[in-house]
A = this chain, B = another copy of it.
Amino acid sequence: MMVNDYVVVPEGSVTTPSGFRAGGLHCGLKKTQRHDLGVIVCEVPAQAAGVYTLNQFQAAPLKVTQESIAAGGKLQVMLVNSGNANACTGQQGEDDARAMRSAAAKAFGVADHLVGVTSTGVIGELLPMPKVLSGIEKLPAETRADGGDDFCQAILTTDLVKKEICVRLTVGGRTVHIAGAAKGSGMIHPNMATMLGFMTTDANIDSAMLQKLLNEVTDSTFNMITVDGDTSTNDMVVVMASGLAGNDSLTPEHPDWAAFAGAFTHVGEYLAKAIARDGEGATKLIEVTVAGAASRDAARAIAKTVIGSSLVKSACFGADANWGRIIAAVGRAGQPVQTETVDIRLGDISVLKQSRPVKFDEDRAEEYLKGELVQIHVDLNMGDATATAWGCDLTYDYVRINAAYRT
């Protein structure tokens, strides 16, 4: 599929970019025999960048990963476990995260500071370290050029589907790939970065540039989704660039920078939307676009307020064209609005024009809302700024899943 200057690689994964292998196995953190330990390995130290949760109770492994990247801007091994978040576990948790890093460094024969670590799962329980360390020892044998799928399985918790993508484009005459995998599902309300995202690329780009690009892209993709308004302690997106595509180093001055940034954004947005669509209990993806706002911050805040409204989410689940809930959310977002100039559309069905109800075909609206994608358009008609946010419906299954997550 051609999208702008890049194409999506069919069956592409985090190992499609040159230099990357991946793998996963079951070490005993999940009660069922599903993978719970995964790794991405680069054959050379990769330029690296990361964004991390703003939740003040940041989990131990995030501190360790930040230290690794800070040491030299590079990562060669990215280790992840699911089933246990290693958050709110105090000094022991930090010691455990460091022990995981050392064990992975030893297993893959690299320096400690080239290893990143992250965890996802239940908060507040210590990791069963013998199981984890024994799993790490076995990981190199399970790490393969076609291990992207195993890695994806290893990062899932309540996710129903794996989320991965790879795009290809040309940079300075060289073929470059950008790939990503993510987990999401619950406690998803990114602030800076949230959930776990792993991106790989074979582009030649240094760590500082990669960080700048990741920050920008996170702001309009991962930070614009919500499942339940709860920002996790463990959210992180990490990107590793092997440089093996051999292009001239990418900076904003490079003639193909815009193409690369566009492709990079596509990967981020694809993963963000995939997380929203697979939110806990979700039956559909909801996309809220706010246009005509006084500022981008206002547009973002309003879009996130609408997408986060339990009432809007429930109405989408029930296919009820209850636009009153949408405008109520717009009005409580704490942003400037003109109360007489708001338009609202559900898909292409106009329901509010200049803040006045429009007679619409209820049956057609219901039919539209029953679909797997609901697009809510809000035009404030007061400025030029626009923002889009993604989320999902609120369903019986969300309640079922979260009423007994630990048991």
- Residues of chain B within 8 A (CB-CB) of A187 are 311, 325, 328
- Closest B residue, CB atoms, query A366: B407
Does A229 count as interface, using CB distance less than 8 angstroms?
yes
The answer to whether A229 and B310 touch across the interface, beta carbons within 8 angstroms, is: yes
Given contacts A88-B352, A399-B395, contact A228 B311 (CB under 8 A): yes
Task: Specify which chain B residues have a CB less than 8 angstroms from the CB of A394 in the assembled complex.
Answer: 310, 399, 402
Whether A317 sits at the interface, judged by CB under 8 Å, is yes
- C-alpha spacing A123/B405, complex, angstroms: 36
Q: Which residues of B contact A406 (CB under 8 A)?
A: 320, 322
A213 within 8 A of B: no
Closest residue on chain B to residue A88 by CB atoms: B327
> Who on chain B is nearest to A336 by CB?
B56
Residue in B85, B126, B233, B315 whose CB lies within 8 Å of A331: B233
Task: Known A57-B339, A187-B328; judge A315-B122 contact (CB<8 A).
Answer: no
Q: Which of B123, B317, B400 contacts A328 (CB 8 A)?
A: B123
Quick check: is A72 within 8 A (CB to CB) of the other chain?
no
Cα-based distance from A394 to B402 in the complex (angstroms):
9
Question: Do A328 and B232 touch (CB < 8 A)?
Answer: yes
The residue on B at minimum CB distance from A54 is: B332
- How many residues on chain A are close to B (CB under 8 Å)? 63
Partner of A309 from the list B230, B328, B340, B395 (CB cut-off 8 Å) is B230
* Interface assignment of A161: CB less than 8 Å from any CB of chain B: no
Q: Does A364 contact B (CB under 8 A)?
A: no
Please tell me which one of the listed residues B126, B228, B233 contacts residue A310 in the complex, with CB atoms under 8 A apart.
B228
Partner of A88, one of B56, B332, B357, B405: B357
Which residues of chain B come closer than 8 Å to A331, judged between CB atoms?
Answer: 55-57, 231, 233
B405 touches A320 (CB 8 A): yes
Collect the chain B residues with CB atoms within 8 Å of residue A191's CB. Answer: 332
Interchain CB contact under 8 A, A311 and B88: no
Please give me the residue from chain B that is nearest to A194 by CB atom: B332
Write out the residue numbers on chain B whose beta carbons fall within 8 Å of the beta carbon of A89. Answer: 357
Cβ–Cβ contact A328 & B229, under 8 A: no
Cβ of A332: which chain B residues have Cβ within 8 Å of it? 54-56, 189, 191, 230-231
Q: Across the interface, which residues of B come within 8 angstroms of A56, CB to CB?
A: 330-332, 337, 339
> With A324-B123, A325-B123 in contact, do A399 and B398 touch (Cβ < 8 Å)?
yes
Is A39 engaged at the interface, CB distance under 8 Å to the other chain? Answer: no
Of A125, A233, A310, A339, chain B has the most CB atoms within 10 Å of the CB of: A310
10 A-B pairs with least C-beta separation: A123-B324, A318-B403, A314-B402, A57-B331, A231-B332, A56-B331, A55-B331, A228-B310, A318-B404, A124-B324
Known A-B contacts: A56-B332, A233-B328, A396-B400. Give 10 more (CB < 8 A): A54-B332, A56-B330, A87-B324, A123-B323, A191-B332, A228-B310, A310-B394, A314-B403, A322-B406, A396-B396
